[in-house]
Every structure is written in structure tokens, then in C-alpha cells.
Structure 1
Amino acid sequence: MLLQDKVVIVTGIGPGMGAKMVRDAAAAGARVVAMSRSDFVMGDVVKAATEAGGRAIGVLGDVTKAEDCARVAASAVEAFGTIDGLINSAYYHPPMVPLLDNDADDLRQAFDVIVGGALNMTRAVLPAFEARGKGAIVNIGTMANRKPMAGEGGYVLAKGALSSLTRQLALELGPKNIRVNMTTMGWLGGPATDMFFEWRALSTGRTKEEAVAEAAARIALGRIPPDDECGRAALMLLSDYAVQVTGATLDVNGGEYMPA
């Protein structure tokens, strides 16, 4: 199996891609630690991972708090003996307004969660990686860094910083045999995207199907990429198939990154 016996931490667990990555990592043979600020979906996520044939635990924690991140890492080692991989999926999206209208506190929170959270989690797992002599980190990025969209400014700023962080950590942690990569996600078909297209349809007087078709027309594969299929690419970067890949950004967006 792709992740047989690897111990993987996934942050930012909600009803979307984070939950799917936990389930699919477990199905691929991993022992998974799911981290979230809320236990709203945690029980269902752990249950789905177990039903997929793997092992998983859920740990409540806030990635902006270094002590929470340390506790999650300690829980992983206590439950499974080590840590092999980390996916930094936690994010905060400021209100979708023009960038100059974003409140400074909202912008600060986006950076605290997306960038500060990735740093906190990296520091937390580093001792376990160093003890094993290897490790892998995947940061979840966004297509909006290449194709700006109205209302995405605060989110894009933080994700752009995460992209720079990915390359910097790849350089600094490479001598420790720790790989750091990023996936560039576009549309992620799931609950949040469904709500967005429903909102867009209502606000433009079109049907949801028309709103979806408009977005899909800009994607080479011609459809909104399902969030679980995108999440599996992040899991691949944690696997031994990618042992020579670090500092890289992998487009996982159905080809949307290509010019029209």
C-alpha cells in the first residue's frame, strides 16, 4: 500500500478535503492523527478511517497555539510510536470583500492559521522526524495565487507566504532528509464549493448548473475536481514514490493552471 505503516498527521479537519485525506490515508495503510479545532466531524472522520481498514485517532487542537501542536505530535508518538508525515491543511478565509476592505484582524488570522500554523506544526513534528532520520511535509496551496479572484485577497496573501515557506523549509530541512512540498489546488468539489456555486447562482440569477459549467469550462479536464481525488495527490507526496521530490509545487487542479 502507498502509505503502509506510516504515521501521518492531517490538520484542518472539517467536512471537506481534510476528512477525505484522513480516510484515504488510512485506506492506503497509514496510521492517522486528525487534528481540528472542533469535534463537529471528528467522530465521523475517525469512524470512516477505521471502516476504510486503517487506524486513526482524533485530537482537538488549534494550529495557532504552539502548545496544542506539541500535544498533537506527542499524541501521535504515544499512539503510534513515531511520525512520518504531516499535511498542513488548516486554513482561515477572511470575508470575501475587496482586499483593502479586509479588517486587519481577519488578515492577521489568515496568516496565523495558514503560515503560523504550518510553522508550529513543523516545529512540533521535527523531533520525531529527526529521530527517524527522515520525514515529509505537504502544504496545501491554492490556484488563486496565479489567477486572482475577487474577494480572495486576504486568503491569497497568506497562501502566497505559505508557498515561500515551503521552498525555504525544503532548503533548510533537506540536510535532515526531510522533504517539504506543496500542492496547488483549484476548485475542490465538496460541501464548501457546492455552497459557493449555490450562492453564485442566486446572486447572478442563473442556475447552479450554469455556474458550475462556467467554472468547469476553464479546466482542461472539463469538470470540477472532486476534493478526495485532489487530496490523494497530497498523500502521494508523503509516500516513498516521492522520496526525491522536495521544494516542489504540484498542480492538482485538473489543468486549470494552463492558460486558456
Structure 2
Amino acid sequence: MLLRDKTIVITGVGSGLGREMAVSMLAAGANVVIAARSADGLRETAKELDPAGERVLAHPADINDEESCRSLVSAAVDRFGSVDAVVQVAAFEDAFGGLFDADLDKWARAFDTNVLGSLRLLRAVVPAMKERGGGSVVLVGSQSAFKVALPQGGYAASKGALLSAMYYLADELGPDGIRVNTVVPSWMWGPNVEMYVDFRAQSEGRTTEEILDEITRGFPLRRMTQDREVADAAVFFCSDLSRAVTGQYLLVNSGELMR
């Protein structure tokens, strides 16, 4: 198994991508520490993923709070002995609108959570990785930073800034054996997109298949990437197969940007 005997910390574990990250890491043999702000939701997810409680630790955490981040890392080390990788999924997405109709407070929140929140988390986890002798940081970007789709400029800009930060982090942390890479999804078939597609189908009097075909007909693979497939790409970045890979981003988008 690619991640046997490794401990992976995953933030933003809810019903979508964060949960699938945990599923993929467990399937690859890792011990997994799942984090989100909702303690109740985390407990239920942990029970579903690992009823015996042997390989999953649920620990509530808020990446906007430095002490909360330190507590998360301490809990991971106390339970499993080390932290080998961190997957930073937690994000604020509700920063829509254009120049004049955007809520700039939401833009600020997007940058504070998606960029500065990631740095707060890394400030907590990097010392543990240095003590371990290295590790892997996996950030989650967004294709919206490359291509305009939905009117979500604030979210897209924050993810673009996070991508730029990745290069500097990779350069700074490389001498300590810590790799920093980014998976970049586009449309992902999971709970959020399912709701969007269902809403459009109902409001436009069409089938979900017609809406999906409209979105994906220009993709080379002619289908939408699934949350789990993005998570599987993160497994690669967490594993020793990518031990010489840092400062890179990987588009996991069914080939969408080829056209």
C-alpha cells in the first residue's frame, strides 16, 4: 500500500472532497486525522470510515485559529506518533460577484481562510514534519484561477494567490525534505455539484443528463471528474512515488483546459 505506516492530516472533512480524501488515504493504508469545525459531523464521519476507531482520529479544528491548528497537530502526534503529510481542503467559497456587486468582506474572508488559513496550518504542522525528517504538503487549488466559469472572482483570486504561495513554500521548506504541491480540480461530481445540476434541471425543465452533457461535452473525457479521483491524485503527492516532486500543480479536470 502506498501510504502504509504514514499519518495524514486532512482539513475540511465534510460530505464532499474532504471526506473522499480520507477514503482514498485509508484505502492506500494510511492512518488519518480528520478535521473540520463541526465536532458532531466529524464524529459521524469517523464512525462511518473506521468503525473500530483504529486508523481514524477525528479532531475539530479551525484553520483560522493558530491555537486550534497547533492542537490538531499535537493530537495527531499523540495518537499516531508523527505527521507525514497534510492535505489542506478547508476553504471559504462564498465570494461571488463582479467589481461592483461583490461583497468585499467576503473577498477578504476568502483570502484570510484560503491563503492565510493555509499558512496558519503549515506553521503548526511543519515543525512536526521537520522532526520526522520531511513530509508532504498537499494544497487544493481551483481551475477557476485559470478559467472563468462561475462568477466567483473572490474565491478564484484567493486560489490563485495560494498557488503563488506554493512556489515560495516549496523553495523554503525543500531543504528540510518537505514537499509542497497542489491538486487543481474543476467540476467535481460530488454533493455540491449534484445540488447545482439538480437545481438547474428543475428550474430549466430539463434532465440532469442534459445539464451534465452541456457542461462536459467539450471535455476530452466527455465526463465530469469525481471527488474521489481528485483525492486519488492527492494520494500520489502524499506518497513516496512523488518524493522528487515539489512546487508543482496537477490539473484533475477530465482534460477540460485542453479546449
Q: TM-score range by the shorter chain?
A: over 0.9
Shift of the 116–198 alpha-carbon distance from structure 1 to 2, 3 Å rule, reads same
Shift of the 32–82 alpha-carbon distance from structure 1 to 2, 3 Å rule, reads same
Work out the CA distance in 2 between the residues paired with 1:234 and 1:35. Answer: 17
Query: What secondary structure, in the 3-state scheme, does the structure 1 residue paired with 2:256 have?
Result: coil
Residue in structure 1 matched with residue 188 of structure 2 by the alignment: 188
Question: Contact 1:6–1:84 (CA<8 Å) still a contact in 2?
Answer: yes
Deviation at 1:28, TM superposition (A): 1.3
Deviation at 1:38, TM superposition (A): 1.1
Deviation at 1:39, TM superposition (A): 2.8
Residue in structure 2 matched with residue 171 of structure 1 by the alignment: 171
| 1:91-130 mapped onto 2 (5 Å cutoff) | 91-130=91-130
Query: What secondary structure, in the 3-state scheme, does the structure 1 residue paired with 2:221 have?
Result: coil
Residue in structure 2 matched with residue 5 of structure 1 by the alignment: 5
Amino acid at match of 2:186: G
Residue in structure 2 matched with residue 140 of structure 1 by the alignment: 140
Deviation at 1:63, TM superposition (A): 0.5
Q: Comparing 33-42 with 12-21, which one deviates more in the overlay?
A: 33-42
Work out the CA distance in 1 between the residues paired with 2:210 and 2:151. Answer: 21
Residue in structure 1 matched with residue 152 of structure 2 by the alignment: 152
Deviation at 1:99, TM superposition (A): 4.7
Amino acid at match of 1:12: G
Question: Contact 1:27–1:49 (CA<8 Å) still a contact in 2?
Answer: no
Question: Contact 1:23–1:48 (CA<8 Å) still a contact in 2?
Answer: no
Residue in structure 2 matched with residue 222 of structure 1 by the alignment: 222
Query: What secondary structure, in the 3-state scheme, does the structure 2 residue paired with 1:183 have?
Result: strand
Shift of the 122–140 alpha-carbon distance from structure 1 to 2, 3 Å rule, reads same
TM-score normalised by L of structure 1: 0.94
1:21 aligns with 2:13: no
Residue in structure 2 matched with residue 251 of structure 1 by the alignment: 251
Aligned length: 259
Amino acid at match of 1:82: S
Shift of the 204–187 alpha-carbon distance from structure 1 to 2, 3 Å rule, reads same
Query: What secondary structure, in the 3-state scheme, does the structure 1 residue paired with 2:125 have?
Result: helix
Query: What secondary structure, in the 3-state scheme, does the structure 2 residue paired with 1:206 have?
Result: coil
Shift of the 247–194 alpha-carbon distance from structure 1 to 2, 3 Å rule, reads same
1:211 aligns with 2:211: yes
Query: What secondary structure, in the 3-state scheme, does the structure 2 residue paired with 1:219 have?
Result: coil
TM-score normalised by L of structure 2: 0.95
Deviation at 1:146, TM superposition (A): 1.4
Residue in structure 1 matched with residue 61 of structure 2 by the alignment: 61
Amino acid at match of 1:117: G
Shift of the 52–204 alpha-carbon distance from structure 1 to 2, 3 Å rule, reads farther
Which structure 2 segments of 5+ residues have no match? none
Q: Comparing 10-19 with 39-48, which one deviates more in the overlay?
A: 39-48
Deviation at 1:108, TM superposition (A): 1.1
Question: Contact 1:96–1:151 (CA<8 Å) still a contact in 2?
Answer: yes
Residue in structure 2 matched with residue 86 of structure 1 by the alignment: 86
Deviation at 1:258, TM superposition (A): 1.0
Question: Contact 2:95–2:110 (CA<8 Å) still a contact in 1?
Answer: no
Query: What secondary structure, in the 3-state scheme, does the structure 1 residue paired with 2:24 have?
Result: helix
Query: What secondary structure, in the 3-state scheme, does the structure 2 residue paired with 1:41 have?
Result: helix
Deviation at 1:203, TM superposition (A): 4.5
1:38 aligns with 2:38: yes
Query: What secondary structure, in the 3-state scheme, does the structure 1 residue paired with 2:63 have?
Result: coil
Question: Contact 1:189–1:227 (CA<8 Å) still a contact in 2?
Answer: yes
Work out the CA distance in 2 between the residues paired with 1:217 and 1:62. Answer: 38
Work out the CA distance in 2 between the residues paired with 1:72 and 1:257. Answer: 36
Listed one character per residue, the Cα deviations across residues 117-170 of structure 1 (whole Å, up to 9, x for unaligned) are 110111111111111111100100111111112321111011001100111100
Query: What secondary structure, in the 3-state scheme, does the structure 2 residue paired with 1:36 have?
Result: coil
